[in-house]
Amino acid sequence: MIRKALKKTSKSEKLKLFLKKYKVPREYLATNRKMVTRAVFLGVFIAFIPMPMQMLAVLAFMPFFKFNVPIALAMCWLSNPLTMPMMYYVEYLTGSLLIGSEVAPVELTIEWFSGNMGKIFIPLYVGTFFYSAIIASIAYYVVDYFWKTSVRKDKKLHPKHRKK
């Protein structure tokens, strides 16, 4: 269903005019399985990294990888002001566990973070890499699986592909 909606949107006349007006390469809006799964992987991977302007980081990968840019940008929104504190706290706890460091009690104040950044930086980014890699990989394979399943289902339903 999502696959069909993406295909339908990519053939929109408004989209074609937008691409022509702003000279955006069409391949960055491709809606095939590889482009969408790459976009999901990259967007989710970056969404778990505690840094400002995550969407700019996605755009920085454009010259190196081909992926559906709008989907990757949307995946960055997984870490929003409501989910960030919980995500980063769990990443910090996991990183502390993985490297065997002591967990400092956390206060959600700017003073506490500025005073303790040296203590939490390494555990936070170890946990960040752990969750980024695992969850982005899972998201990649889930989207890939559902995309392939959708294609198989459509082929079964399409009269041209039925056995006679």
Closest CA to 96 of 123, 118, 75, 114: 123
Question: What mean pLDDT is reported for the chain?
Answer: 85
Q: How much is the pLDDT for 21?
A: 72
Tell me which residue has tokens 């939490």: 120
Q: How much is the pLDDT for 113?
A: 78
Residues 59-107: pLDDT tens digits?
A: 999 889 989 988 999 999 888 888 888 898 899 999 999 999 988 888 8
Tell me which residue has tokens 């399409």: 158
Domain ranges for the chain, please list them. Answer: 2-161
Q: How much is the pLDDT for 131?
A: 96
Helix (H) / strand (E) element for 33: namely helix 33-47
Contacts of 108 (CB under 8 A, 6+ apart): 85
Closest CA to 40 of 149, 137, 128, 147: 137
Q: Is the pLDDT of residue 139 over 70?
A: yes
Confidence (pTM):
0.81
